[in-house]
Structures are given as structure tokens and as C-alpha cells.
């Protein structure tokens, strides 16, 4: 029987599982410590950190188990028409299934509907598959970070114009 996989808006009850995913994936890629999003206070309460309008956070659920997440919200310290793609992480079993593209579609549609004209993201050079996904969606590499995210350890910045 093929697993049932779908994307839905995050619920408050999902906080612990989403925190686990973020911490697991960030640790896997060596993105631990000061300057990485794993240190953000919001990691433990992602549901509360993404209030509408202007923000949205989603989970990817497979057979009632959350295996991935991602969202968007205003870029801290950025222009009003720029959102940030935030905390899009998948556990290994979900990677390569096409759900990254599906989640990206949902996130970017939410950003457009909220009135944003640009989407910014920060990532790491070593997250090659993620960077490939972003490039397929038209994100362009930029030379320096935007806004004031506090993620000084990220070394790859991209921007998409809608």
C-alpha cells in the first residue's frame, strides 16, 4: 500500500515534532551553534511564531507522521514586500519524493497571496539538494544577506522575485 502524504497548515500540537525535525536536520548538516536557525527561540513554538496574515507554516505528513516542514514570514529588518522562506526541512525518508516541490508551491502561493513581491532565503553551501530545488524555482544567488535574521553562519543567500 502506497503511503498517504499530504501538506497541511501547522497546528499547535505539532510544535514538538517540528522542533525535532529542525534540530535533527540542522544537526545532520552540522548547522549547530550560534548563527544558525537551530538556535532561534521560535524553534520550540513554531505554530505561535507564524501568525496570519503575512506568515504561514506548513507540515508534510505521511501516514499521520510529520516528516517535513516549512513556511514563510516577513523578513526581519527587511523591506515590507520581502518575505523569508523559513525552516524548510525534511527528514531523510521524505527527501527525493517530490514533496519539496509541492511544499515550495504551497509556501510561494501563500507568500504571493499575502502580498509579497520577493522571497529571500538563507542556506548553506553544503545543502546542495535544497539549493538545487531553490534554483529550479527561480531563486537567484545574491552576494550578501538581507535583513537582520541573526543567521550569520549561513553562507548562501538567494532571492526570488514574483
CATH number at residue 57: 3.40.630.30
The domain in which residue 116 lies consists of: 5-161
Task: Give the count of domains, the chain.
Answer: 1
The angle, 0 to 180 degrees and rounded to 10, between the axes of the packed helices 128-136 and 99-113 is 50
Q: What are the residues facing 61 on neighbouring strands?
A: 6, 66
Rounded to whole angstroms, how far apart are CA atoms 145 and 95?
A: 27
Residue with cell 548538516: 29
For residue 41, the model assigns a pLDDT of 87
Looking only at the bridges linking them, the beta strands covering 118-123 and 82-90 are parallel
For residue 2, the model assigns a pLDDT of 67
Query: Which residues of the chain, if any, have pLDDT below 50?
Result: none
Q: Which residues, other chains included, contact 12 with Cβ-Cβ below 8 Å and sequence gap of 6+?
A: 47, 48
pTM of the model: 0.94
For residue 33, the model assigns a pLDDT of 85
Closest to 131 measured CA to CA, from 91, 104, 97 = 104
For residue 1, the model assigns a pLDDT of 62
Q: CB of 41 within 8 A of CB of 15?
A: no
The 3-state DSSP class for residue 52 equals: coil
| Greatest CA separation for the chain | 47
For residue 37, the model assigns a pLDDT of 87
Amino acid at each position: 500500500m502506497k503511503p498517504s502524504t499530504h501538506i497541511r497548515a501547522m497546528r499547535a500540537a505539532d510544535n514538538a515534532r517540528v522542533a525535532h525535525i529542525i534540530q535533527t536536520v540542522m544537526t545532520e548538516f552540522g548547522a549547530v551553534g550560534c548563527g544558525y536557525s537551530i538556535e532561534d527561540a521560535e524553534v520550540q513554538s513554531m505554530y505561535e511564531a507564524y501568525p496570519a496574515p503575512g506568515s504561514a507554516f506548513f507540515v508534510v505528513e505521511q501516514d499521520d507522521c510529520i516528516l517535513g516542514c516549512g513556511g514563510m514570514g516577513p523578513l526581519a529588518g527587511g523591506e515590507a514586500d520581502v518575505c523569508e522562506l523559513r525552516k524548510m526541512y525534511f527528514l531523510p525518508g521524505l527527501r527525493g519524493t517530490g514533496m519539496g516541490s509541492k511544499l515550495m508551491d504551497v509556501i510561494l502561493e501563500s507568500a504571493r497571496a499575502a502580498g509579497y513581491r520577493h522571497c529571500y532565503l538563507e542556506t548553506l553551501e553544503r545543502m546542495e539538494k535544497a539549493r538545487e530545488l531553490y534554483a529550479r524555482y527561480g531563486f537567484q544567488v545574491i552576494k550578501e544577506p538581507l535583513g537582520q535574521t541573526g543567521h550569520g553562519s549561513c553562507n548562501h543567500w538567494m532571492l526570488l522575485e514574483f
